[in-house]
Amino acid sequence: MRFIPRLLLVVFLAAVTLAAQEQREVTSKAEERIQREVRHQLVMLPRLSVFDNLAYKVDGYNVTLLGQVSEPITKSDAENAVKRIEGVERVDNQIEVLPLSPMDDRLRLRLYRAIYGYPTLQKYALPVIKPIRIIVKGGHVTLEGVVDNEGDKKVAGIRAHGVSGSFSVTNNLVVAK
């Protein structure tokens, strides 16, 4: 007879746990709000530059931060900003801090001038948050971001390839729809 009360207790605890999980299920509206707020917090980071590329994934109340940054403080700033968002329970910070390198710094500046100084691409230099991100790691260049058309994507790639000092250029620019 002692077995039955224990079984009832187990069943009761399982029911309470299931009910609590159902209450915590994320509505699509809540997830969309978190996504908007994460994006807002990331673009408002004071040290975010054209040489950083931040991305994120929202899964319920959990946020995964991705990308590359040229300064270690930007990684911690991003995590701290996202942790303060109402509803976010967990932040998995997978942002890569690029190695500090004077050679990479000089290459970044030459790439910036070559891309944003070119007449066809100057329109992308106007916004505060530059849509073409220039990521340099050990002399290898990756272009990230969004451009208006395929021609701008190709021109940005050609301009980056023309800069001396890079070992390779990967053009991951996406054409806006």
Answer with the one of 47, 62, 97 that is the final residue of a domain. 97
Residues 37 and 87 grouped into a single domain: yes
Quick one: pLDDT band at residue 177, thresholds 50, 70, 90? confident
Quick one: pLDDT band at residue 22, thresholds 50, 70, 90? very low
Assign 3-class secondary structure to 99-144. CCCHHHHHHHHHHHHHHHCCHHHHHHHCCCCCCEEEEEECCEEEEE
> Is 110 in contact with 59 (CB distance < 8 Å)?
no
Average pLDDT over residues 106-117: 97
What range does the domain containing 36 cover?
Answer: 26-97
User: What is the tally of structural domains in the chain?
Assistant: 2
pLDDT for res 109: 97
pLDDT for res 23: 46
Answer with the one of 48, 68, 97 that is the final residue of a domain. 97
Query: Tell me: the pLDDT tens digits for 138-176?
Result: 999 999 999 999 999 999 999 999 999 999 999 999 999
Q: Whole-angstrom Cα distance, residue 128 to residue 144?
A: 16
Query: Tell me: the pLDDT tens digits for 64-89?
Result: 999 999 999 999 999 999 999 999 99
Residues 118 and 89 grouped into a single domain: no
